[in-house]
Amino acid sequence: MNQRPFLIFPVLASVYPVLALTSGNPGERVMPGHMVLPATLSLVACLVVLLLAAMITRDQCKRAIIALVGIVAFHAYGRIWMAIDNASDARLLPAVLVVVAIASLLIHRTRKSLMPACRYLNVFCSILFLLPLPGILQRFLVPPAKISTPSLPTGPLHLSSKKPDVYIIILDKYTGSHSLMANYDYDDSAFLHRLESKGFFVPHFSRSNYQHTFLALASLLNWRYLADLGLYPGAKSTDWSLAYPLVETNATVSFFKSLGYRYYFFPSAFGATARSRIADVLLPPPDRVQPEFYFVWRSTTILEAVVRMGKLEFPYMPEPVRLTDWKFDQLGRLADSSGPKLVFAHLTVPHEPYVYRSDCTHRPLYWPRQDDGFDSVAVKRAYIEQLTCVNVKVGRLVEQLQRRSREPPVILLLADHGHGRMGRSLPTLDAAPSDKVRERLDIFSAYYFPGAPSSMYDSISPVNGMRTMLRQTFGLDLPNLDDASFWSSTKYPYDFKRVR
């Protein structure tokens, strides 16, 4: 007797994109709970198309294949939209629906038995479903490698009995003033002069040590270059998370905790700064920050067209703009709390998505598909508006910290990297335009601590800025290193090529 198989492939095909994204996204700390909503919505979409297919045909196999066509359209729509320059949802969405309808009609009207195809699809989708599972299980079940904190330098500490609060504030993708003027026709000098008038040293030619956020932070917080640490299995590794322990458990936190400091940590939506298991205080709790995984998944589906056309607020925004407002407010309020304290905040602005106008009012979410090409004018305008707002917020924050702190604090305002206008997938150095490499490495930075103006220089990079602050303020034996910048691609982040 020829038994009909149980046709499971539409369900497997609907969940596969969520699994593949989880397995293949090394820059995110995606946890099992983060997958629930995308998987649920994918299954709901599968159920809807199965019900619609049942209205077209009674044939079980044909229904399943029609449902598969609908599922593919649901998950591929966003990629099609991104692949077509100036795509209009008002035109593309009906076109996709027409193609799905024609394919469904052809499947319904065929007189051939499609059962062999259904059996094949059952096997094929089962294999496809299983492929990402080893990587996912490894990420969820295998504990992350324990990386020892680099040894702390020894030497006399010339500390007074009053220990200053230390604020390390990362402003993501804040481009240096020279590139802002050259590539955006934006003069940032008024803001820089304002900081200088408040006692900050503002380097005019500072460059990032690394152009990926997680690498720049790992180097900054451990006061040295990553090649000196010898912690990676090979330059061709694609696993971003290998460096995350260097951000979470680092020499800076170990040093200040040894002095009795409390560690305040602000989780972000970015994988390397999504959590800290050694922080004394988390602001906000990590579960209030959604990983970027949600947005990336949604952007590939037909749901994104619904959001754009309906001008809807969708609950997948990694860091809602009100949360960013709240973080700036909380940073200022920390000056009133008892110390001593080390505060680390990775603020994901002026990095996209663009959510602020120049007057800091909230704008409709704008996350461009690319930075250059036909979008370049709009991207530049949105970036400068958001950066202008960040300047306002940072200026207010500095005033609060200086005015309300019991003792003059240490404040480091640092960009991890500049813009670069290359999108989110960075090429190898030989494939990257030289002007965009310069912009990506050109960064804003400002240092406030006793003796900063006399002990620093215009081309100081973040790794030496940290060493100088620790040497001048806390007496650590940390001579400056060579100011170097290293480039690596998104695919192979540890294949470092020195730029200068």
CA angle 360–329–296, rounded 5-degree value: 65
What's the pLDDT at 357? 96
For tokens 């904190």, the residue is: 149
What dihedral angle (degrees, nearest 10) is formed by the CA atoms of 167, 147, 231, 496? -30
CA distance 317 to 291: 9
pLDDT bracket for residue 142 (50, 70, 90): low
Q: Which long-range contacts (CB under 8 A, 24 or more apart) does 143-150 make?
A: 144/241, 144/244, 144/245, 145/242, 145/245, 146/245, 147/231, 147/245, 147/246, 147/249, 149/222, 149/249, 149/250, 149/251, 149/254, 150/222, 150/224, 150/229, 150/251
Give whole-number Cα distances, 103 to 22, 62, 65, in Å.
Answer: 30, 11, 10
Residue 150: its pLDDT value, please?
56
- Other CB atoms within 10 A of residue 285 CB: 9
pLDDT for res 456: 95
Q: Tell me the pTM.
A: 0.76
pLDDT tens-digit series, residues 364-404: 878 786 787 767 888 999 999 999 999 999 999 999 999 99
| Residues 473/410, Cβ–Cβ less than 8 Å | yes
| pLDDT over threshold 70, residue 146 | no
Q: 3-class DSSP state for residue 25?
A: coil
DSSP 247-293: HHS-HHHHHHHHTTPEEEEE--SSGGGS--SS-SEESS-GGGS--TH
Indicate the angle between helix axes 177-184 and 376-404, nearest 10 degrees: 150
Q: Which of 121-135, 145-159, 209-223 tops mean pLDDT?
A: 209-223
pLDDT score at 315: 41
CA 281, chain centre distance (Å): 22
Which pLDDT belongs to residue 243?
Answer: 87
Per the prediction, the chain carries an average pLDDT of: 86
pLDDT at 368: 80
What pLDDT score was predicted for residue 259?
92
**Residues linked to residue 175 through DSSP beta bridges, in sequence order:** 443
List pLDDT tens digits, range 238-295.
778 788 889 999 999 999 999 999 999 999 988 889 889 899 999 987 666 666 677 7
User: With pLDDT > 90 as the criterion, what percentage of the chain qualifies?
Assistant: 59
The span from the first CA to the last CA of the chain, in angstroms, equals 73
Q: Are strands 166-171 and 410-415 parallel, antiparallel or unpaired?
A: parallel
Q: Say what the pLDDT of residue 313 is.
A: 47
What is the DSSP annotation of 399-458?
HHHHHH-SSPPEEEEEES----SS-SS---GGGS-HHHHHHHHBB-EEEESTTHHHH--T
CB 246 within 8 Å of CB 230: no
Residue 7 pLDDT > 80: yes
Question: pLDDT at residue 483 above 60?
Answer: yes
More confident residue, 83 or 453: 453
Residue-range domain boundaries for the chain: 9-141, 166-268+319-498
Contact between 369 and 85 under an 8 Å Cβ cutoff? The reply is no
pLDDT at residue 4, as a whole number: 63
The per-residue pLDDT for 314 is: 47
User: Would the pLDDT of 3 be above 80?
Assistant: no
Q: Output Rg (C-alpha) for the chain, integer angstroms.
A: 26
Report d(CA 12, CA 341) in Å as an integer.
50
Angle at 294 between CA 292 and CA 295, to 5 degrees: 70
User: Helix, strand, or coil here: 347?
Assistant: strand
Region 166-268+319-498: CATH code: 3.40.720.10
Tell me which of 316 and 70 has the higher pLDDT: 70
**Per-residue pLDDT at 316 exceeds 50:** no
The pLDDT value given to residue 167: 98
d(CA 367, CA 397): 26
Question: What is the token pair recorded at 35?
Answer: 């997958």
